[in-house]
Amino acid sequence: MHLFLHCEEVQRVWKKLMCWLNCNFIVPNNLLVHLECWSKEVSTKKLRQGFWLIWHATLWEIWKARNEIIFNNGTFDVEEVVENIKVLSWSWSLHRLKIGPSLFYEWCWNPHECLLR
């Protein structure tokens, strides 16, 4: 749980994502409650599915970054992790969600608009 929610560097990732998505809440102690918080930040099913997708992409990218540190003597770069989350979530959104296509720069600029297409 510490790795995904309370590690200092990971908290910076979540804060940057909340800023990108224009949402804000206190990070809870439990991953399932954390996912529920993301659900409550939006009102439509399309946005909820998109936020869940971004949430899952975040966990995956945090896990990959952690493995890079442990197995390849890498470092944790918050900006790089956030950028990877945006790329992965954009790619997943194009293939997994029933939304109109968006360009990557559109996704980075306004993911809400892209998810509502």
Structural tokens at position 77? 């770069």
Range of the domain at 42: 2-115
CA distance 15 to 21: 10
Q: What is the pLDDT of residues 39-95, one digit of tens each?
A: 888 889 999 999 999 999 999 999 999 999 999 999 999 999 999 999 999 999 999
Is the Cβ–Cβ distance between 82 and 13 less than 8 Å?
Answer: yes
> Which pLDDT does position 6 carry in this prediction?
84
pLDDT at 12 exceeding the cut of 70: yes
Confidence at residue 1, expressed as pLDDT on a 0 to 100 scale: 67
Average pLDDT taken over every residue of the chain: 92
The count of domains in the chain is 1
What share of the chain has pLDDT > 70, as a percent?
99
DSSP assignment of 82-93: HHHHHHHHHHHH
Q: What is the mean pLDDT of the segment spanning 19-41?
A: 86
